[in-house]
Amino acid sequence: MELTGAEIVVECLKEEGVEYLFGYPGGAVLHIYDALYKQDHIKHILVRHEQAATHAADGYARSTEKPGVVLVTSGPGATNAITGIATAYMDSIPMVIITGQVPTHAIGSDAFQEVDAVGITRPCVKHNFLVKDVKDLASTIKKAFFIATSGRPGPVVVDVPKDVTAAKTVFEYPKQISLRSYSPVERGHIGQIRRAVKLMLSAKRPMLYTGGGVILGNSAPELTELTRKLGYPITNTLMGLGGYPATDKQFLGMLGMHGTYEANMAMHHCDVLIAIGARFDDRVTGNVKKFCPGAQIVHVDIDPASISKSVRVDVPIVGSVKSVLQDMIRLLDETGEKPDATALAEWWKQIEEWRATDCLKYDRASEIIKPQMVVEKFYELSEGQAFLTSDVGQHQMWAAQFYKFDKPRRWINSGGLGTMGFGLPAAMGVQFAHPDALVGCVTGEGSIQMCIQELSTCLQYRLPIKIINLNNRYLGMVRQWQEFFYQSRYSMSYMEALPDFVKLAEAYGHVGMRIEKPSDVEPAIKEALRLKDRLVFMDFITDQKENVYPMIPAGAGLNEMILV
Amino acid sequence: MRRIISILLENEAGALSRVAGLFSARGYNIESLTVAPTEDPSLSRMTLVTRGSNEILEQITKQLNKLIEVVKLIDLTEGPHIERELLLIKVHAVGDSRNEIKRLADIFRGRIVDVTASTYVIELTGTGEKLDAFIEALSGIRIIETVRSGVSGVSRGEKSLRL
């Protein structure tokens, strides 16, 4: 039987097992929306801005093992989606974004709502396609899902002109697809893995440094097994939190610019560094010239281009984190050799001295609400079981420092691109994926206003997200840098004319709370958690002068932290 | 260091802009770039001349390999290879200079392929250096147009870039 292109799009999504489609209609995608109307397999979620559609799909993908799927119209629909696409690209999140396009005959004529979607998204997608013939539609969508979810994942855009969605052809969904120019490596080179294991066992001061690749590769259990077997200290990047249980003794906390003193010092002084699914980002390495000066480095990554990009490594291993970790565990068991216990005990002694610095300490007796305390209380009262999204800035760092993630895919934030406005729509995607789970969004009064319109979407779909607004009336991270590096010239970082967030939440049909005293923090969170089926907007009025510590200033090494 | 990278890529709309976009987005140099279909019409062959340190060259080849449409690539400069570029140059040719230009073209094994009362078009192939030397040798002659094809290359002997 022949189907229209629009029907084919819907059938392809069904074949891929797509549950939710995040989108916003418009002229070029009307045929597809009509086809969606006539079925009830795929639930379309109507957001209030296309950026939110991409962030919601992104949050859905990060909190599950499935790709996020987006449908937007041509022109402004596509351009509004760009920020979300770039966010997903930087953090290697699998997404498929279907953009409408003007009819093929009008392409290039500056038609109404025309934009070169393939051109404009090219630098921020793993791949993209323009489908010019309905006969290519099904196979292209199949390729898009395959590319988005395999290898190092990423967003893939499929641009579909309106006439292609109207044209008919016989629908056949390919079972399998192979691309001669694309075949991601799965298993790591066994000789290299053997070398790595040997080096790991010879270490006197070993350190494990793991990133988002562990989460995306679903290899937290293997990482935990290997780390416990070795007894080595471990740190996670911002993207890797939850890859190893944060409450475990071997965990030294996050590393990098606002990482813990013990994690950064252990990195700096280690003799063997085992980097797994991490990409030596500049926020992690500090000054690369001063990075891990005495270490031999093992690097496991699925993307060959990530290896030796900013830091030369000694034992590169290209492969999926999961299979390489499994091979490492197997080889460790086979050799029967054990790490040098004396050296390791000495190393742990040193680490415990660093840990005793208590680098995350803050004034717990403060009369003004300390933002750290809010996150800590939320952690306690949610028993560490929440899914937590964040926006970008100081609140993001405090959430990462003070909420201890024991499980992967619970910490959802824009690490690479640093996208303000990510938190709330991402939380929507997470809540759709986990309808019964507690989903929190730690944000600030700056970030939340970048996608605040989604409070309306949250009402439409009754999403009981708990918004934790750390409101210090400043773009806090900007303010902090201006205080440290611009002699306190607070250029444009003070947020004047803020809305009354309580009334705003109420206007959107939600519950709003303003919390101004430290003693009210716990009762407020308890009350919010009791309101299980309502979105609660908690506006915490926090200390304006609080800074994120510790901190590595730009250009410094990991051993040159500013402590409180 | 100067490198010549030969790439087989899918002969599809947009493949060229993906390669060009990669170079501009990551700040790599492109000295020259040529592309045309091969005997297999589904494949194009691109020759790209770039400069950079070994680390940058390593990143360039890795990033190129990451592009979905790049099927295969080699760095020709890693081994013995042949490198050619085509020059078409239109010069002002009147009076005594007509003979002089003809002699120069012969010395460089070029050919005059178009003649008018006042102009010659000379065709010359060779390495970029040879073409530079020829243009240098024409000093004193008025050059009207210079067209260079960019470098093409192939490895010597058994080594080849094919599927």
pLDDT tens track for A400-439 = 999 999 999 999 999 999 999 999 999 999 999 999 999 9
B146 inside 8 A of chain A by CB = no
| pLDDT greater than 90 at residue A564 | no
Location of structure tokens 């303010």? A479
Q: Which amino acid is residue A210, in one-letter code?
A: T
CA A234 to chain centre: 20
Fold of domain A2-170: Rossmann fold (3.40.50)
| pLDDT greater than 90 at residue A329 | yes
For A371-541, CATH gives 3.40.50.970
pLDDT tens digits along A232-266: 999 999 999 999 999 999 999 999 999 999 999 99
**Which of A89, A127, A181 to probe the B interface (max B CBs under 10 A)?**
A181
Residue numbers in A near B40 (CB within 8 A): none
Q: Which of helix, strand or coil describes residue A468?
A: strand
Q: In the predicted model, what is the mean pLDDT of residues A3-12?
A: 98
Query: Which ipTM was obtained for this model?
Result: 0.92
Q: For residue B62, give the chain A residue with the closest CA.
A: A305
Domain boundaries, chain A: 2-170, 190-355, 371-541
Q: Read off φ and ψ for residue A85, nearest 5 degrees.
A: -70, -45
Contact yes or no for A400/A241 (Cβ under 8 A): yes
CB atoms within 10 A of CB A474: 24
pLDDT band of residue A484 (cuts 50, 70, 90) is very high
Q: What is the pLDDT of residue A554?
A: 87
- Nearest 5°: the CA angle A454, A458, A464 is 135
DSSP A188: P
- Which long-range contacts does A312-316 make (Cβ < 8 Å, 24+ apart)? A312/B55, A313/A275, A314/A199, A315/A192, A315/A195, A315/A196, A315/A199, A316/A192
Q: For residue A131, give the chain B residue with the closest CA.
A: B13
Q: What is the pLDDT of residue A119?
A: 96
Contact yes or no for A311/A288 (Cβ under 8 A): yes
User: Per DSSP, which regions of A196-349 are E strands?
Assistant: 206-210, 234-236, 251-254, 272-276, 296-301, 315-318
pLDDT per residue as tens, chain B (163 positions): 899 999 999 999 899 999 999 999 999 999 999 999 999 999 999 999 999 999 999 999 999 999 999 999 999 999 999 999 999 999 999 999 999 999 999 999 999 999 999 999 999 999 999 999 999 999 999 999 999 999 999 999 999 999 8
Task: Report the greatest alpha carbon distance in chain A.
Answer: 74
B59 inside 8 A of chain A by CB = yes
Q: What is the pLDDT of residue A296?
A: 98
Q: Cα(B76)–Cα(B160) distance, rounded to whole angstroms?
A: 10
Task: Indicate the average pLDDT of chain A.
Answer: 97
Q: How far is A159 from chain B (nearest CA, A)?
A: 13
Contact yes or no for A148/A95 (Cβ under 8 A): yes
Closest CA to B122 of B84, B89, B145, B95: B89
pLDDT tens digits along A87-141: 999 999 999 999 999 999 999 999 999 999 999 999 999 999 999 999 999 999 9
- CB contact under 8 Å between B68 and A126, yes or no, is yes
Q: What is the pLDDT of residue A150?
A: 97
CA A162 to chain centre: 33
Location of structure tokens 């099927």? B71
Q: How large a percentage of chain A has pLDDT more than 90?
A: 98
Residue numbers in A near B46 (CB within 8 A): none
Q: What is the pLDDT of residue A341?
A: 97
More confident residue, A336 or A431: A431
Q: Read off φ and ψ for residue B85, nearest 5 degrees.
A: -140, 145
Q: Read off φ and ψ for residue A25, nearest 5 degrees.
A: -80, 170
- pTM for the model stands at 0.96
Judge if A190-355 and A371-541 fold alike in CATH terms: yes
pLDDT tens digits along A183-242: 998 999 999 999 999 999 999 999 999 999 999 999 999 999 999 999 999 999 999 999
B20 inside 8 A of chain A by CB = no
Class of the domain covering A190-355? alpha beta
Q: Which of helix, strand or coil describes residue A541?
A: strand
Residue numbers in B near A119 (CB within 8 A): 17
Q: Which amino acid is residue A504, in one-letter code?
A: L
- CB contact under 8 Å between A181 and B63, yes or no, is no
